[in-house]
């Protein structure tokens, strides 16, 4: 078994309105910082895991994202990077 380090991001699906982002948009506009920043928000996780090899690590990370970290009804996820450590 090898150890890997994964970085993932969970965001709302495009069809779900991102309320936090809208609040931020309004705030930046009202503070005269940016007119239309078109924010999107998400959650960021890093963790380490054991796997046979990189492809295996990928599968496991995918599983963790799907089953633990996100809710597929409203969210999507993206594996940012997986590196051997």
Partner 1 sequence: MKAAVVVFLGTNCETETKRALEYCGFDVNYVNFDTKNLDDYDAVFLSGGFSYGDYIRSGRLAKFTPVVDALKNYIESKRGVTVGICNGFQILCEAHILKGALVENDSSRFICKNTSLELCYKGKKRKIILPIAHREGKYVCFDDINEFVFLKYLDNPNGSMHDVAGLYDAKRRVMGLMPHPERAVFAKNFGFDGREFFEIIKDEIKRG
Partner 2 sequence: MRLSVDKFIVNQIEKRLKRKMNELEKHIFSAMWSEHCGYLHSKNELKKFNTKGALFPYENSGGVKIGEWGIFFKTESHNHPCAVEPYQGAATGIGGIIRDILALNARPIALLNSLKFSFSQKHLIEGVARGISDYGNSCGIANVGGEVIFDDKYYDLPIVNVMAVGIVPVEKVKLSAAKKNCIIALLGSPTGPDGVGGAAFASKELADNKSDDKIHVQIGDPFVKKKLIEATLEILKLDGVVGCQDCGAAGLLSSTSEMAYKGKCSIELDLDKLHLSKNDLSAAQILLSETQERMVFALQEEVFDEVFNIAKRYELEISKIGKTYKGDEYIIKKDGKILSNTPVQVICEPYVYELCPKNCNNKNERECFLQTDLSSAVNKLVSNPEFASKKWFFQQWDYAVGGRTFMPPQQSGAAALKLFENDYFIGICMDSKPRLCELDSYLGTKSTFLESYRNLVSSGFEPLGLTNCLNFANPENNDTQSDFVRVTSALADISNAFGIPVVSGNVSFYNETKSTKIYPTVTVGMLGYCKSENELIEAVFCKNEDVFLIGRKINLNSNIGGSLYQKILFDFLGGKLDTSNYELEIALKNAIFELRKKDLLSGAIDVSKGGLLGSLLCVLFNSDIGFCGTLLDNKNYNDAQKLKLLFGEIEGRYIFSTNNFHKTENYLIGNNIPFTYLGKCVGDKIKFDGYEFDLNELKDKYLNSIENVLDEF
Binding site for partner 1 (CB under 8 A): 12, 15-17, 19-20, 22-24, 27, 30-31, 43, 68-69, 71, 73-74
From 2, 3, 27, 50, residue interacting with partner 2 (rule: CB under 8 A): 27
Rule CB under 8 A: is residue 34 a binding residue for a second copy?
A: yes
In the numeric block, which tokens belong to residue 22? 């809208």
The H or E element that residue 8 is part of is strand 2-12
Rule CB under 8 A: is residue 71 a binding residue for partner 2?
A: yes
| Closest by Cα among 82, 78, 49 to 65 | 78
User: CB 73 → a second copy: shortest distance, Å?
Assistant: 19
CB neighbourhood size of 65 (10 A): 21
């Amino acid at each position: 078994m090898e150890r890997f380090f994964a970085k993932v991001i969970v965001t709302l699906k495009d069809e779900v309105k991102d309320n936090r982002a809208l609040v931020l948009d309004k705030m930046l506009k009202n503070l005269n910082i940016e007119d239309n920043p078109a924010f999107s928000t998400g959650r960021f996780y890093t963790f380490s895991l054991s796997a046979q090899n990189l492809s295996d690590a990928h599968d496991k990370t995918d599983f963790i994202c799907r089953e633990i970290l996100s809710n597929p009804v409203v969210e999507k996820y993206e594996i940012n990077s997986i590196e051997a450590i």
